[in-house]
């Protein structure tokens, strides 16, 4: 008997029930007589929000490094850097006596309106999964746990506690679950946090299909499932579904409900024991890591500055950047002195220090004169006098730097955005300043896409700095003055306007339901399929240098799905300064039985190059790079045929292509039924062999019945009988031909099905 089993076997029913509900806002119930300590968790995911008193939800937290938020982290496309940041987070968790960090979040950016998008990585599940894996690996390498969240389909703040996300099975499997699957199977997070919302009518905390069937059984998750704070509605039902730990506590009524359910036979104690076993296991794992001590605040601040700079995306540059010794710089915008570096809500960190952008600019501007104007108020009022002051200052300067932060009343956890615009004051400010100063750089601080079409044409450069963390002010200065060559790339599409977005007609839902009617087609998948022009595509980002791609190679032009292939390409820095490029590999299926996106990201790598240097970048593509999920078969499927490998600098900038031929090893069982159409019978290998002779007879008989002889559509009722037949059930066709049959139509179809399914 293992130590875990021994503890569980010695626990009373009351102790088990108590362990499965929190003892406080941030801790579990210890069992002192069995030497089982409490488990302490803390909000993350880009810093430790450790409150001094675990009984309190929202007290000011202890000082910790505020790293950039997930939208900034993802824009680095740098898995190694996220691993390093994860290690730093773990060191701070250890110093602050935290066992599990509540993060990262890998929900998809279904709509740019989601108020919490700053906490999520991307609109693409492959990228989100890979980056989350690295962050989790970094944290857990130090003996601190993580909580992968919010499982699943938590893609908006509107009615998030109760709304039902109506998502079809294939869309769930291909878009909303893969990032979780990748992180769970590769990084093995200690915990997974369920979502508040319902999925197809059932609360995330009561989702047996998601929590047990998929997460625990199919993916082999060995950790514990914890509720989001307040996500449990029926404690007994959630235990049955696979929800191990309810937070926050204490909630004696929930404990009593579990005890009563076991005693009256409604809840099998073995099911409760499994939840207890998982909690005990993670608690003991956490106890192996000694807590306390200090963390390297200065070193972590420096790392936060590096991460922030790596994630900044240069959206536009007419050559003004990097700045070349300007003598007078007009610094405009409240965010230049009141840094906007994090979002509101559960991830709000009490930083160890904050770099003020204006001060950091002064440090690097040498002898230049810096002047400052607020530019816009902290609220949504319109103040023309602020704009006028900024215009006067900008006119006499060599360059104007406009720091534009999307205010928290427009973007935060807890509510969604109503538009993609900056404030009216901010737009008018940019337009007015750029009208008098052509050398204007706009620096954006926001957590998700904004519409820029009203003002971008007048600018010289635009830098997306995101919610950049406490050291972001210094990182901005590094990029503007060329100490860091920007290498960030967008992980979400920037649309021309809100009306162009995939969910424009369905977000955020109504009457308690939001329908994911766009299916697979979110983000770039949608813009590709519809041919909708965008402002900035997924994967886009400029540099102070240029890169050339050449010599694309694949390890095999014909291969099996289980073997996969390796793609390589030579990348050359063709500019005058060192830089980093993100090589992206997309896969296009030339022909598929089910509708597929035009292309999908399936690999990426970030490479650093000196001027004139060439490196070969190699990226593997496995079975899943070519597969789609077929709900009819309830499995991932590949199909033999040709695929295009697209190697590019963004989703819209494909530099090299290669065509390969896949040989599928997937053996599909027949799913023909009484309701199957003629087309389905002909598409089924076994069904076609048995049915084809009958099909020829049916076609001839139907042509005669419709008055078409020898395919002459000018006769009869003017329809093509072959096309007409294909999408009708075989059984229905036979009923029209019953007088020509020697036995009832139902018997004919049943006999065919017996042969197909091997029952004859």
**How far apart (Å, rounded) are the C-alpha atoms in residues 107 and 45?**
13
Coil vs helix vs strand at 744: coil
Burial 12-40 (b: 16+ CB within 10 A, else e): eeebbbbbbbbbbbbbbbbbeeeebebbb
Coil vs helix vs strand at 738: helix
Residue carrying the six token digits 């204006």: 358
Catalytic residue among 43, 78, 228, 684: 228
**How far apart (Å, rounded) are the C-alpha atoms in residues 370 and 183?**
46
Other Cβ atoms closer than 10 A to 260 = 13
**How far apart (Å, rounded) are the C-alpha atoms in residues 133 and 137?**
6
- 121 φ, ψ (degrees, to nearest 5): -80, -50
Rg (CA), the chain: 29
Structural contact between residues 314 and 461, judged by C-beta atoms closer than 8 angstroms: yes
- Residue 100 DSSP label: E
Contacts (Cβ under 8 Å, ≥6 apart) of 211? 151, 194, 225, 241, 242, 243
**How far apart (Å, rounded) are the C-alpha atoms in residues 527 and 503?**
12
Where is 386: in which H helix or E strand? helix 384-395
What dihedral angle (degrees, nearest 10) is formed by the CA atoms of 424, 426, 429, 435? -90
Extract the tokens encoding 689. Answer: 């062999």
**How far apart (Å, rounded) are the C-alpha atoms in residues 106 and 124?**
10
Residue carrying the six token digits 């995306």: 313
- Decide if 419 is catalytic: no
What does the H/E/C string look like for 315-353? EEECCCCCCCCCCEEEEECHHHCCCCCCCCCCCCCCECC
Q: In what side-by-side order are the strands of the sheet with 202-203?
A: 202-203, 198-199, 164-166, 513-515
Contacts (Cβ under 8 Å, ≥6 apart) of 135? 45, 73, 82, 83, 85, 86, 104, 146
**How far apart (Å, rounded) are the C-alpha atoms in residues 754 and 742?**
18
Phi-psi category of residue 565: left, alpha or beta, with phi > 0 → left and psi -120 to 50 → alpha: beta
Annotated catalytic residues are 228
């Amino acid at each position: 008997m293992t130590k875990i089993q021994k503890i569980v076997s010695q626990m009373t029913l009351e102790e088990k029930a108590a362990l499965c509900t929190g003892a406080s806002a941030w801790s579990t119930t210890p069992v002192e007589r069995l030497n089982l300590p409490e488990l302490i968790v803390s909000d993350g995911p880009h810093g430790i929000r450790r409150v001094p008193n675990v009984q309190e939800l929202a007290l000011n937290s202890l000082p910790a490094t505020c790293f950039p938020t997930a939208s900034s982290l993802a824009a680095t496309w740098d898995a190694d850097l996220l691993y390093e940041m994860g290690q730093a987070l773990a060191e701070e968790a250890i110093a602050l006596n935290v066992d599990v960090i509540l993060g990262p979040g890998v929900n998809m950016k279904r709509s740019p309106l989601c108020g919490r998008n700053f906490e999520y990585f991307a609109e693409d599940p492959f990228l989100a999964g890979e980056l989350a894996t690295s962050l989790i690996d970094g944290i857990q390498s130090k003996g601190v746990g993580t909580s992968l969240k919010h499982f699943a389909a938590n893609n908006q703040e509107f009615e998030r506690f109760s709304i039902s996300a109506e998502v079809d099975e294939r869309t769930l499997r291909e878009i909303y679950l893969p990032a979780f699957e990748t992180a769970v199977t590769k990084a093995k997070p200690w915990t997974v946090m369920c979502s508040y919302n319902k999925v197809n009518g059932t609360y995330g905390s009561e989702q047996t299909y998601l929590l047990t069937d998929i997460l625990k059984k199919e993916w082999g998750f060995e950790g514990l499932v914890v509720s989001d704070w307040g996500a449990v509605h029926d404690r007994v039902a959630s235990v049955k579904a696979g929800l191990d730990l309810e937070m926050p506590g204490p909630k004696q009524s929930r404990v009593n409900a579990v005890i009563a359910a076991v005693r009256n036979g409604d809840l099998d104690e073995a099911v409760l024991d499994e939840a207890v076993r998982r909690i005990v296991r993670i608690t003991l794992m956490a106890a192996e890591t000694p807590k306390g001590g200090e963390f390297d605040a200065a070193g972590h601040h420096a790392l936060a500055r590096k991460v922030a700079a790596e994630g900044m995306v240069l959206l536009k540059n007419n050559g003004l950047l990097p700045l070349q010794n300007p003598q007078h710089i007009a610094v405009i915008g409240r965010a230049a002195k009141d840094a906007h570096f994090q979002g509101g809500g559960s991830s709000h960190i009490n930083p160890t220090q904050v770099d003020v952008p204006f001060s950091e600019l002064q440090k690097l501007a040498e002898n230049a004169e810096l002047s400052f104007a607020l530019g816009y108020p902290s609220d949504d009022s319109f103040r023309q006098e602020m704009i006028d002051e900024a215009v006067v200052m900008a006119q006499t300067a060599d360059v104007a730097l406009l720091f534009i932060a999307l205010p928290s009343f427009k973007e935060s956890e807890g509510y969604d955005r109503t538009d993609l615009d900056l404030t009216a004051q901010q737009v008018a400010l940019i337009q007015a300043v750029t009208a008098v100063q052509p050398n204007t750089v706009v620096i954006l601080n926001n957590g998700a896409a904004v519409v820029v079409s009203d003002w971008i044409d007048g600018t010289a450069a635009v830098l997306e700095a995101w919610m950049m963390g406490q050291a972001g002010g210094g990182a901005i200065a590094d990029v503007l003055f060329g100490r860091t060559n920007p290498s960030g790339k967008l992980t979400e599409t920037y649309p021309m306007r809100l009306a162009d977005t995939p969910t424009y007609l369905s977000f955020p839902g109504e009457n308690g339901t939001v329908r994911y009617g766009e299916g697979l087609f979110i983000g770039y998948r949608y813009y590709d399929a519809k041919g909708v022009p965008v402002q900035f595509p997924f994967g886009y980002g400029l540099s102070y240098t240029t890169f050339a791609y050449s010599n694309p190679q694949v390890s095999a032009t014909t291969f099996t799905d289980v073997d996969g292939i390796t793609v390589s390409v030579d990348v050359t820095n063709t500019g005058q300064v060192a830089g980093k490029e993100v090589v992206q590999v997309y896969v296009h299926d030339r022909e598929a039985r089910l509708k597929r996106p035009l292309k999908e990201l399936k690999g990426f790598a970030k490479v650093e190059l000196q001027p004139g240097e060439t490196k070969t970048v190699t990226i593997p593509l496995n079975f899943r790079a070519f597969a789609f999920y077929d709900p009819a078969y309830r499995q991932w499927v590949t199909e033999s045929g040709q695929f295009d490998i697209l190697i590019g600098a963004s989703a819209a900038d494909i530099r090299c292509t290669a065509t390969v031929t896949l040989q599928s090893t997937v053996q599909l069982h027949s799913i023909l039924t009484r309701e199957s159409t003629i087309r389905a019978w002909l598409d089924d290998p076994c069904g076609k062999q048995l049915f084809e002779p009958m099909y020829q007879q049916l076609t001839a008989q139907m042509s005669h019945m419709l008055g078409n002889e020898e395919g002459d559509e000018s006769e009869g009722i003017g329809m093509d009988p072959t096309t007409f037949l294909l999408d009708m059930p075989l059984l229905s066709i036979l009923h029209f031909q019953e007088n020509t049959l020697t036995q009832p139509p139902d018997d004919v179809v049943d006999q065919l099905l017996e042969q197909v399914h091997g029952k004859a």
